[in-house]
Amino acid sequence: MADTNVTISKGLEGIYIADTKLCKIDGTNGKLWYRGYPIEALADSSNYEEVAFLLLHGHLPTKSEYEIFVKKLVDEREVPDAIEEIVAEFSGRTHPNDILRTCVSVLSSYDTDMEDKSVEANEERAIKLIAKMPTIVAMIGRYRQGKPVIRPLAKLSHTANFLYMLTGREPDKEAAKLIDLMFILHAEHGSNASTFSTLVTGSTLADVYASVVAGISTLRGPLHGGADEAALKMMRAIGEPDNTEKYIEDALAGKQRIMGFGHRVYKAYDPRAKIVYNYLKIFMKKTTDPSVEKLLEIAIRAEKLMEEKLSKTKGIWPNIDFFSGPLYTGIDVPSDLFTPVFASARVVGWCAHLFEYWQNNRLFRPLDNYTGELDVKYVPIDRR
C-alpha cells in the first residue's frame, strides 16, 4: 500500500540538493549571477576564458593567472587520433551529441593517472575537457559537411578558434564576440537537469569524465539541450516573416507548445535572452544573408506576439533557446551542432559544480513511494 503521508515533488521541483557559491538565479525578477557577478557585466566586459577561470577558482584571474590558464587551454586543444577515427566512423550515422558523448568517454583512456583523485588532478581534467570538447564538436561538423578537419590555431581565443575550426574562416569581430557571448551565457545555470545528472554520477565518486558523459547524455532531449534546435525548426517551418503571426496564433489555438518560451525557473524575461535579443537586433543590421535575415525577423516578430499573448498575462517569457538558433545560423553553426556546442560551453559549469559537491560529498539516494500490490502469490510457469 502507498504511504498516503508522502509528498511527491515531481521533477524534484522545489527541492534543494546542495549549497553553492557558483550561481544565483532570481527567477521572479529575471536575474542571474555567476559567483556574485551579474551576467550582464560578464557578457559585456569579460570573455569565456575569464568566466571559466571564475567558475572553477571562485575569483576573477589576475593577469598572470589568466595568461597561465589560457596557455593551458591552448596547449590542450589537440585530441588523440582515435577521436578523429570515432568521428569519421559515426558521423552521419548518429546525432552529433552521441558522438561527442562517446569521444569524451574515450578521452578517459588517455588520462595518465586515473588513480590520482587530487583537486589539482581533477582541475587539470576539467581544463582538458574545456579545451578539447570544442575541437571534437568542430571536427564532427567538418565530417558531416564532407570537409577536411582543421587544426586549432593558437593565436585565436577559445571560442574564436572553435568557429575557425568549424567554418575554416577566422571570424570577424562581430562573429567572434557573438560566439564568445553564447559560450559565456551557457557556461553555468544552477542545478539544471544536466548538472544534476553530473552530480548524481559524481556522487558515486565516479571520475570527471564519467560525470561529464552523464551531463552530455542528459542534453539529448528537446526539453533541455535540444530546445534551441527545436525552436529553429519551428522558425524554418514558418518560412516567411509574414507567416509568423498566423503560425503562432494557430499554434496557440491548438494548444501547441512554442519552443523557446517558458522556463521552469524564470517567471520573468530570461536575462540571458534579453542579452542575446539585443545582439540579435544588432546582428540583423549587419547580415547580408537573406535566409538569416528572415530567421531573425521571424524571431523578433514571434517574440513581440508572444509577449502580447502570453508573457505579460501568463508569465511565459522567451528563454535563451528561442534566440540562439537564428544567431548560431548567422555565424554558420549548423543546427545539429547546437546541443554539442551547448555542452562545450556548459562543461565548465558541470565541473565546477562537481568539484564543489565533492567538498562535502553525499551519495544521492532518493526514495520512491511504492503504490503496487504486496504479498502476491507466485504461480509456477506451467500453471499461468
Which residues are catalytically annotated?
Answer: 263, 321
The residue among 182, 177, 174 whose CA lies nearest residue 285 is 174
Grid coordinates representing 91 are 558521423
Which residue in this structure is represented by grid cell 552530455?
A: 216
Angle (deg, nearest 10), helices 208-218 and 119-144: 40
Distance CA 195, CA 55 (A): 14
- Would you mind telling me the total number of residues written for the chain in this entry? 384
Q: Closest Cα partner for 295 from 213, 363, 208, 231?
A: 231
What is the Cα–Cα distance from 380 to 241, expressed in whole angstroms? 66
Q: 38 has which bridge partners?
A: 33
> Rounded distance, CA 372 to CA 337, Å?
43
- 42, HSE (Cβ side, Cα atoms, 13 Å): 29
Compute how many other C-beta atoms are within 10 angstroms of the C-beta atom of residue 110.
13
Sheet holding 31-34, edge to edge: 23-26, 31-34, 37-38
Nearest to 182 by CA among 174, 190, 170: 174
**What are the beta bridge partners of residue 193?**
none
